[in-house]
């Protein structure tokens, strides 16, 4: 195999149309292979987004359901057992959104809520957006502090 022997696979490359509208002898004179009349044969034609040839577009045919509540607040949930794992693995005693983001536990800008599932033995200072009553009780029972 040499560079001058390389060719594309048969049928993978189409021949260019060449110069359009330059006489019948060229094979693409007259209408320039665009058919007769209509918007697509004319200069400046630009199809509308989602245009389906006059048929009702699919996004208009399908029903609209539900709504997005602008007051909805979504929290990333972290259980007390996960706080213990974080302390054991990373040695953190001060847990806040910045330290959780730096360790790759949450994404930037996420709100964090601590829930009370699991056991906690380490003394931690936790500063997050929200927490449950059981989580607060377990953190304080272990000698830590909770700030929201």
Q: Average of pLDDT values for 42-56?
A: 92
Residue 95, Cβ density class (10 Å: 0-12 exposed, 13-18 middle, ≥19 buried):
buried
pLDDT of residue 27: 87
Q: What percent of the chain has pLDDT over 70?
A: 100
> Model's pTM, two decimal places?
0.57
Domains of the chain plus CATH, in order, are 75-147 (3.100.10.10)
pLDDT of residue 16: 87
> Is residue 26 pLDDT above 90, yes or no?
no
- Report DSSP letters for the chain, one per residue: --GGG--PPTTSSPPP--STTS-GGGTS-TTTTS-SSSGGGSTT--PPTT-BTTBPPHHHHSPP-----TT---EEEEEHHHHHHHHHHH--SEEEHHHHHHTTSS-TT-EEEEE--S---S--EEE-SEE-HHHHHHHHHTT-EEE-
78, β-bridge pairs: 114
């Amino acid at each position: 195999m040499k560079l001058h022997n390389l060719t594309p696979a048969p049928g993978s490359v189409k021949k260019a149309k060449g110069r359009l509208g330059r006489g019948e002898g060229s094979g693409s004179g007259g209408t320039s292979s665009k058919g007769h009349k209509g918007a697509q044969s004319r200069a400046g034609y630009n199809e509308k987004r989602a245009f389906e040839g006059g048929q009702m577009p699919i996004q208009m045919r399908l029903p609209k359901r539900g709504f997005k509540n602008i007051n909805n607040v979504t929290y990333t949930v972290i259980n007390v057992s996960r706080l213990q794992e974080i302390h054991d693995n990373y040695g953190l005693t001060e847990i806040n959104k910045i330290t959780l983001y730096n360790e790759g536990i949450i994404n930037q800008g996420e709100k964090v809520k601590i829930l009370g599932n699991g056991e906690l033995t380490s003394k931690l200072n936790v500063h997050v957006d929200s927490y449950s009553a059981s989580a607060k009780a377990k953190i304080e029972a272990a000698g830590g502090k909770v700030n929201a």
